[in-house]
Each structure stands twice: as structure tokens, then as C-alpha cells.
Amino acid sequence: MSPVYAIANQKGGVGKTTTTVNVAACIAEAGYDTLLVDIDPQANATVALGLPKDGEPNVYTVLSGDAAAEDAVVPTAVDRLQVLPSSPDLAGANVELPRQPGSERRLRDALAPIRDRFAYTLLDCPPSLGPLTVNALVAADRVIVPVQTEYFALEGLAGLLDTLALIQRELNPRLTVAGMLLTMHDGRTRLARDVEREVREHFPSLVFDTVIPRNVRISEAPSYGRPVTHYDPQCAGADAYFELAKEVAARG
């Protein structure tokens, strides 16, 4: 079966959405049909790909059983990249899902009929370990954990790995960690270099070789509704995401 990746970290602003959008775009540009599922009520990935965040059907109507995933998937400006968009209504699922037994499997079941249409599926998670992230981790085979190279970077990572182990044990035995990704790295600062060394020492085999630099083009691209690889394919940020996509594919 084609792999499903969740991009998860309970911290906000660490580069989850940026990584999901840009890795998905790189894989699609390499010629593989790719699906991005936006499972964050903030709908940042949806908007970053140029789509409205109040369209229907969307991931909320799919999780509620009111729409089929195949009817909710829409094309983007990037060839071969399709998106299952989010909507602010999805916040309601945080309250509704826990009341329904077995609801951890909603997303996995909803995606089952379409996942093999895509070579890769990427799930952009919200900044919490709540019911939506749990749904993503049950639907996923692998997790990519973006880590911002700043002070406190390690804080929360041990807890996140414990949660992943719990989900693997209780709900999804297939789940593995694809890798940790250092993001927004400013190689000119001593702090960033120290944090990189510390994270690599703590998790020797888990951290991707590729490091995503802090790059203004990366932060500008979403306001044009495009991945950085379309907005400025020559910039350092686009290069890094191309390298990362190769590394993710090679780790299998």
C-alpha cells in the first residue's frame, strides 16, 4: 500500500504546515500523484495551496460522514497534487469525536477507498495531541516531526515520542517515526548550531540529514497560495525541501 505520512508536533509554529505543503509539492513535481489532507481547523495548508478555507465538502464533512473523501478531494495549482481541504468547522470535531466510540479510526476509514490512487498521502496535523492528531496518527504509517532549532526545542519531544509509542501499541501497530526534521535553522547563530548538535545527540538515528534553513521566500509563498518550489524554485528553501523529499522517499 502507498505510504501515509503524518506531520505532527504538539507545538505550534514549528514548520508542520510548511513542511507538509512543500514536501507534498516536491513529491508531486517529481511525478507522483500526491494527496495532502489538511486536518487542522486553522486550514493553513488549504490556504497555502490557494484554496478557500470555507469550501464544502471538506475534511470535516468527510469525518462527520456527510461526504465521501473522493468527492472532497480537489486539484491544486501544482500538477499531480490534490488536497482534501480543511475548514474552521473542523474545530467542532474536537468535541464531537471523543463522544463516539471508535472515532479514532474515522480518518483512516474515510481515506481507505482512495489512498491507493495516490503514491503518497501527507496529513497536516493541528498543534495539539487531541482527537484530530490521534485520527491522523491512526491513519498514518509514518510520522515526520518538525523541530524548530530554538531554545526549548527538546522540550515536549520525549512526551511526543511516548504518545506515538502509545498509539502504536493501542491503535496502530504499523506506525513508525520517519524522522525528526530541523526547521527554521539559522546557521549564523550559535544557538541554532548548539540546538542542532543537541537534538542529533539525543536522537542519533532519527534526525534527517537535511536541515531546512530560515528563508524569507518560504514564509512569503503561502500568501501567494503556492508552495515555495513554485513561488521561487531557485531559493535555498526550495532546494532544502527538494533534498528532504528525496531523503523521505529514500528512507522508505
Angle at 63 between CA 78 and CA 120, to 5 degrees: 35
Structure-block grid coordinates of residue 157? 519531544
* 210 near Mg ion, rule: CB under 5 A: no
- Interface residue with ligand ADP, options 50, 55, 92, 127 (CB under 6 A): 127
Stretch near ligand ADP under the rule CB under 6 A, chosen from 71-79, 115-123, 201-209, 217-225: 217-225
Cβ neighbors of 30 (< 8 A, separation 6 or more) are 245, 249
Amino acid at the residue 140: A
Structure-block grid coordinates of residue 222? 503561502
* Other CB atoms within 10 Å distance of the CB of residue 39: 26
- Interface residue with ligand ADP, options 24, 136, 195, 212 (CB under 6 A): 212
Cβ neighbors of 61 (< 8 A, separation 6 or more) are 67, 72
Burial class of 113 by CB neighbour count within 10 A (0 to 12, 13 to 18, 19+): exposed
Q: Is 84 helix (H, G, I), strand (E, B) or coil?
A: strand
What count of residues does the chain have? 252
CB of 112 to ligand ADP, least distance (A): 26
CB of 101 to ligand ADP, least distance (A): 30
Residues numbered 228 to 247 that lie near ligand ADP (CB under 6 A) are: 237
CB of 125 to ligand ADP, least distance (A): 8
Specify the residue, 172 or 183, whose C-beta has the smaller distance to ligand ADP.
Answer: 183
Specify the residue, 9 or 149, whose C-beta has the smaller distance to Mg ion.
Answer: 9
Residues numbered 13 to 42 that lie near ligand ADP (CB under 6 A) are: 13-18
Task: Categorise residue 120: left if φ over 0, alpha if ψ from -120 to 50, beta otherwise.
Answer: beta
* 17 near Mg ion, rule: CB under 5 A: yes
CB of 226 to ligand ADP, least distance (A): 13
Amino acid at the residue 226: R
Residue nearest to Mg ion (CB): 17
Specify the residue, 44 or 172, whose C-beta has the smaller distance to ligand ADP.
Answer: 44
Stretch near ligand ADP under the rule CB under 6 A, chosen from 68-76, 79-87, 136-144, 218-226: 218-226
- Interface residue with Mg ion, options 3, 5, 16, 62 (CB under 5 A): 16
* CA 49 – CA 85 distance, rounded (Å): 9
Residues numbered 125 to 164 that lie near Mg ion (CB under 5 A) are: none
Specify the residue, 16 or 142, whose C-beta has the smaller distance to ligand ADP.
Answer: 16
Q: Which of 4, 5, 6, 8 is nearest to 147 (CA)?
A: 8
- Interface residue with ligand ADP, options 106, 214, 226, 230 (CB under 6 A): 214
* CA 105 – CA 114 distance, rounded (Å): 15
**Residues at the site binding Mg ion, with contacts judged by CB under 5 A:** 16-17, 44
